[in-house]
A = this chain, B = another copy of it.
Amino acid sequence: MNTLTALTVLDLASVVIFALSGALVASRAQLDIVGFAFVACLTAVGGGTVRDVLLNRHPVFWIESPSYILWATGAAVVIFFTAHLLESRMKWVIWLDSFALAVAVPAGVAAALETGQHPVIVVLMGMATGSLGGLMRDVVCNEVPLVLKQGELYISCAMAGAIGTLIAMTAGLELTTALLICAGTTWALRAGSIAFGWHLPVYKSRPPRQ
Contacts and interface: CB of A to CB of B under 8 A. Distances in A.
Contacts of A156: 32, 34
Nearest to A152: B32
State the oligomeric state as a number of copies. Answer: 3
Nearest to A58: B56
A139 B139 contact: yes
A30 B124 contact: no
Nearest to A73: B120
A38 to B, nearest CB: 5
Interface string A130-153: 000001000111000101101100
Contacts of A33: 200-201, 203
B69 A120 contact: yes
Given A30-B150, A63-B55, A145 B140 contact: yes
A205 B87 CA distance: 11
A84 B205 contact: yes
A155 interface: yes
A32 B200 contact: yes
Interface string A187-199: 0000000000001
Closest 3 CB pairs of A and B: A66-B120, A32-B200, A34-B156
